[in-house]
Amino acid sequence: MNLLKEIESRGLKAVRFSFADQHGVLRGKTLAASEAKSALDRGVTVTSTLLLKDTSHRTVFPAFTPGGGVGIPELQGAADILMMPDASTFRVLPWAADTGWVLCDLRLQDGGAVPFDSRAVLREALEKLGDYEFIAGLEVEFHVFKIANARLQPEDAGQPGTPPDVELLTTGYQYLTEQRYDLIDPVVQLLRDGLAELQLPLRSFEVEFGPSQFEFTLAPLGGLAAADAMVLLRSAVKQIARRHGYHATFMCRPKLPNVMSSGWHLHQSLAKGGRNAFTAEREDLSETGKNYLAGLLAHARGACAFSTPTINGYKRYRPYSLAPDRIIWGKENRGALLRVIGGPGNPATRIENRIGEPAANPYLYFASQIYSGLDGMATRPGLPPSADTPYEAKAALLPHTLAEAIAALRLDKALREGIGEAFVDYYCKIKEAEIARFNLEVSEWEHREYFDLF
């Protein structure tokens, strides 16, 4: 694609240059179309502190100390880094007039790699697969509410600020009923049309079980394309919804009466020579698939910090809730952590990981799966029997908290080696800063429990 010709022929007036930060949230700058050539040639500068922030946008590391607090002299003093556009990701935003969008990779000003670029982490993991290709299918749940009060008074500002007051679109609990779907269809149409114009491979649009809860699925894509699609889908859904008076959230479990948890079920397989490497002629999984599955089980606790990276996400792991609570696999069993789908000779055979929350950074989530699976393929640890009763099975439990998941990640040798010691330590420190802030807050439960009693 000749990006400059595309921008000119479409009469665009602005182009957004974006990158996915450590949380999988898009950040970047918007430039006049006339500046696009310079951006393509030399990149777009942004402050490196964007890589040092937690989910409240607070800078966790001391950026003005030697090495910028992370041992990298090029980042010291909140120095600039460069966003280098990936022309293959260019889109025209259907909701923003005369505006293009392009996803970027990060570089130091001397052209060197930025160690904390999560897109680069996935790119390296994909290279480690050698002749295999990672294929991902996205099944994403989220909520959309009508905004009752945007809460934009000065006292609502802050880090992170006051979220809007919202109203439901449906009262829920009529899973997949057409009447409930029709209630949300006007919003689905807005989202569907916008996402289709972004060339995302949409498959289905569903009304989920909970109030105001949606589920969208995308057709299978190759690893980097699938991760790019996830960050674009989330950002587009939120922006389209907000422009029409709605609030879309990929938070796992909002604190609203009767609202259900949302998950992100990741369907994954490996392809080799154009064929599904998980397909076997006489069994449910090939030997490659079995070893990959065994690796996912072996590293499930450590990988949890990437699949469920928020404090809130761990409130979803409950027995008998269609969400996993222990480290098991099952054949076509929605209560299991890892669900094997397909069968002998089925070219669509795959493993569905049901652990993820929809807020996960897809680049890190995918990379954790790849390194887990590769370790299983290398060590061949053996696959335990499938669990027919997943919530009674005798198996190790998943972490109950983000702190427990971070501790497991710090001890996981394969994930530390694959993703990189420096990146894992950096990521854990950001997450530990979030946990520390959470522990300082006095919760409603504490106030209700103790204020009158003592």
pLDDT in tens, 209-238: 999 999 999 999 999 999 999 999 999 999
Give how far the C-alpha of residue 48 lies from the chain's centroid of Cα atoms, to the nearest Å: 22
Q: Point out the residues of the chain with pLDDT beneath 50.
A: none
How far, in Å, CA of 174 to CA of 284, rounded? 33
pLDDT in the model for residue 103: 98
CA-based nearest residue to 237, from 199, 184, 187: 187
- Please state whether beta strands 165-167 and 99-107 pair in parallel, antiparallel, or not at all (unpaired): unpaired
Spatial distance between the Cα atoms of 432 and 428, rounded to a whole number of angstroms: 6
Helix (H, G, I), strand (E, B) or coil at 243: helix
Q: Any bridge partners for residue 141, and if so which?
A: 215
Q: How many residues does the chain have?
A: 454
Q: What is the pLDDT, as a whole number, of residue 334?
A: 86
The token pair at 247 is 């609030």
Residues 6+ apart with CB under 8 A from 78: 47, 48, 49, 63, 64, 68
What SS3 state is found at 441?
A: coil
Token code pair at residue 173: 């609990």
Please report where in the chains the tokens 């009763």 appear, as a residue: 389
- Please state, as a whole number, how many other Cβ atoms lie within 10 Å of the Cβ of residue 88: 12
pLDDT for 62: 93
Give the domains, in start order, of the chain with CATH numbers. 3-115 (3.10.20.70), 125-444 (3.30.590.10)
CB 356 within 8 A of CB 340: no
pLDDT of residue 347: 96
SS3 label, residue 427? helix
Distance separating alpha carbons of residues 349 and 345, to the nearest angstrom: 8
d(CA 86, CA 72): 25
- Which DSSP helix (H) or strand (E) runs through 47? strand 44-47
The span from the CA of 103 to the CA of 101, in Å, is 7
What pLDDT score does 1 carry?
A: 59
Helices (H), 198-263: 223-243
Euclidean distance between CA atoms 338 and 363, whole angstroms: 20
Fill in the amino acid letter for 282: R
Q: Cis peptide before 309, with omega less than 30 degrees from 0? A: no
**Which tokens is 65 given?**
């100390």
